[in-house]
Chain A
Amino acid sequence: MVRPYFTLSAPDSCRDEGFLIYKNKLLTETAKIQSHLIPVLKTVSDPEIPVLSVLDLGVIREAIEENGIVKIKLTPTYSGCPAMDVIADDLKAAFSEISKKAEVELVLSPAWSTDWISEEGLQKMEEYGIARPLSESHDKDVLLGEKKMVKCPQCGSTNTHLVSQFGSTACKALFKCDDCQETFDYFKCLK
């Protein structure tokens, strides 16, 4: 039996032969995820940003059950991200809890982009204390220290400055708020 794919506000044009194909907000890339696998996928989170599930992060490119085996295609945020090995193990563990075997394949192309983080994911990230990625051109300006645009996740002020282009993980830069004096992580724009 072919099960339907997961959808998140996918327009009708994305419907194809009874499949719903989830498209990201910019409709540039698709992820094929069967909807009955969603509840399990939702329980697996990024070990570095535990409030984000792998679905929020947009790293699951495909999840399809075939002959009782869940085949997952996972894409890394950064090439060396150590979280990827952990995520792959966590996915297998999560499916084994419901007595399903999962196979995880790492795919590099198309390369992951911060555009693939869901809006819900961005909100959770901010609540967690990590500033969300700005647009590509604004990102360049703030990382060169030329403009103050990153919003402090603690107090909301944009009176912030770059402390370090590299932060606690490959995907983040370190900022400081000049109003509330808190340092915080900024999730770098990657396109």
Chain B
Amino acid sequence: MKNLNLYNYILTIADNSLILAQRLGELCGHGPNLETDIALTNISLDLLGQTRSYYQYAAKISGEDKTEDDIAFLRIEREYKNCLLVEQPNTHFGHVIGRQFLFDSYHLMLMEKLQDSPDETLAAIAKKGIKEVSYHKRFSSDWVKRLGDGTEESNAKMQEAIDDLWHYTDELFFMTEAEKVLAEDGIGVDISTFKKKYYEEVSEILKEATLSVPENKYFAKGGKEGVHTEYMGYIMADLQYMQRTYPNMTW
């Protein structure tokens, strides 16, 4: 495939949005209350919309006879480039919020850089995305503070979630081959440039939420290179069931 690096780069960003959208979509009708149920599925919808824009672009530049649906539904697990963080399960509401908060903080910083890309399509998706993602981040960081600075139980659960998810954060800044090449070309974002800012900002909000910032030195990675956690297979089963069972079905 020509444009292979650009193609992989687009998927590296887009797959995060797809898999997180799928995770949040699982909560449809199962949120802890009506307002958060609606909020989480609204966020899911925004992410799915962004995913579609990325996949349509990837399909176009692939030079192959692909559609956005092929990219979304017909790859095997090892071909998905999402980070491990977004595939983590909805264990309890603290985990849902913790995962969202840790991802939104990163996502917004990425979009803010990507909007300056000389690639017009990526810049346009990012500009549109910033408006949505900043709203997501407002929601998730509000909840981190509310739960962290809430009751003894909510604090303990929020802390548990942050502790569980923390060791997936370093991978957000792991640069794949495609990311390195695109960053050198000036089209992609050098994500290492905002790593320090990310941890500072996240730590500040955790402190405000009276939560402690985890200090573990061990970090997991692999998702961005297709090596996923055991949860990914189940996500694939849900996500791909219809297309695999009824090939080329449409609504």
Residues on the A chain within 8 Å of B139, using CB: 165-166
Q: Judging by beta carbons under 8 Å apart, are B38 and A190 in contact?
A: no
A 56-79 contacts with B by CB, 8 A: 76, 78-79
List the A residue with the shortest CB-CB distance to B56: A106
Given contacts A80-B50, A108-B53, A111-B127, contact A164 B39 (CB under 8 A): yes
Interface flags for A79-105 (1: CB within 8 Å of B; 0: not) read: 111100000000000000000000000
List the A residue with the shortest CB-CB distance to B54: A79
Asked if A109 is at the interface of the complex by the 8 Å CB criterion, the answer is: yes
Instruction: Report the tally of A-B residue pairs with Cβ distances under 8 A.
Output: 72
Q: Which of A80, A82, A109 contacts B124 (CB 8 A)?
A: A109
Given contacts A79-B50, A80-B47, contact A165 B135 (CB under 8 A): yes
A80 to B42, CA, bound (A): 9
Residues on the B chain within 8 Å of A163, using CB: 35
Interface flags for A126-164 (1: CB within 8 Å of B; 0: not) read: 000000000000000001100000000000000000011
A139 to B171, CA, bound (A): 35
Q: Judging by beta carbons under 8 Å apart, are A80 and B35 in contact?
A: no
CB proximity of B251 to chain A, nearest CB, Å: 10
Residues on the B chain within 8 Å of A79, using CB: 46, 49-50, 52-53, 125, 128-129, 132
Q: Judging by beta carbons under 8 Å apart, are B52 and A80 in contact?
A: yes
Given contacts A164-B38, A165-B135, A190-B131, contact A108 B49 (CB under 8 A): no
Asked if A170 is at the interface of the complex by the 8 Å CB criterion, the answer is: yes
Residues on the A chain within 8 Å of B121, using CB: 108
A34 to B139, CA, bound (A): 41
Interface size grouping (class) on chain A: 20 to 34
Interface size grouping (class) on chain B: 20 to 34
A82 to B138, CA, bound (A): 23
A188 to B124, CA, bound (A): 21
CB proximity of A85 to chain B, nearest CB, Å: 10
Asked if A174 is at the interface of the complex by the 8 Å CB criterion, the answer is: yes
Residues on the A chain within 8 Å of B38, using CB: 164, 166-168, 174
A74 to B158, CA, bound (A): 42
CB proximity of A160 to chain B, nearest CB, Å: 16
Residues on the B chain within 8 Å of A112, using CB: 128
Q: Judging by beta carbons under 8 Å apart, are A111 and B46 in contact?
A: no
Asked if B45 is at the interface of the complex by the 8 Å CB criterion, the answer is: yes
A109 to B130, CA, bound (A): 13
Given contacts A164-B38, A165-B135, contact A108 B128 (CB under 8 A): yes
A 28-71 contacts with B by CB, 8 A: none
A109 to B117, CA, bound (A): 13
10 A–B pairs (Cβ distance < 8 Å), ordered by A: A79-B49, A79-B129, A109-B123, A109-B128, A163-B35, A164-B34, A164-B39, A170-B42, A174-B35, A174-B38
Contact surface of A with B, Cβ cutoff 8 Å: 76, 78-82, 107-112, 143-144, 163-168, 170, 174, 188, 190-191
**8 cross-chain pairs, A with B, having the tightest CB-CB distances, nearest first:** A80-B49, A79-B49, A109-B124, A164-B35, A166-B39, A80-B45, A108-B124, A166-B42
